[in-house]
Amino acid sequence: MTEFKRISPEQAQSLRSEGGVIVDIRDPNSFANGHVTGSTHLDNQSLPDFIATADLDQPLIVVCYHGNSSQSAAAYLVGQGFSDVYSLDGGFELWRQAFPQETEQGDPA
């Protein structure tokens, strides 16, 4: 895979159940107020460590607010060597509507 793919919340949920990793690129306050259960918050400070320790072949789903910024981030991660990258269409807002039981609150780790 040389490009990222855009996927729906339902497709992301399916990938997640098969071991896909969800990363959230929104600001820390937005992440703390609600995010996909089990997702990892990524920002400029945590990105290098994440890339250094991640399985580059594991499916990676990028989440932002509405599905726009995640496309740029997904393209960047493909350029960093990740082979199976997805951008969540509709972002966290659509995820929250589709899977309200699969969201949680809390500060980034």
Catalytic residue among 64, 73, 77, 88: 64
**Strand-pair category, 21-24 with 60-63:** parallel
Task: Give the C-alpha separation, 52 to 47, whole Å.
Answer: 9
Q: How far is CA 66 from the centre of its chain?
A: 12
Question: Does an H or E element contain 61, and which?
Answer: strand 60-63
Residue 43 annotated as catalytic: no
* Residues 22-35 as b or e (16 or more Cβ within 10 Å = b): bbbbbeeeebeebb
Q: Catalytic positions, please?
A: 64
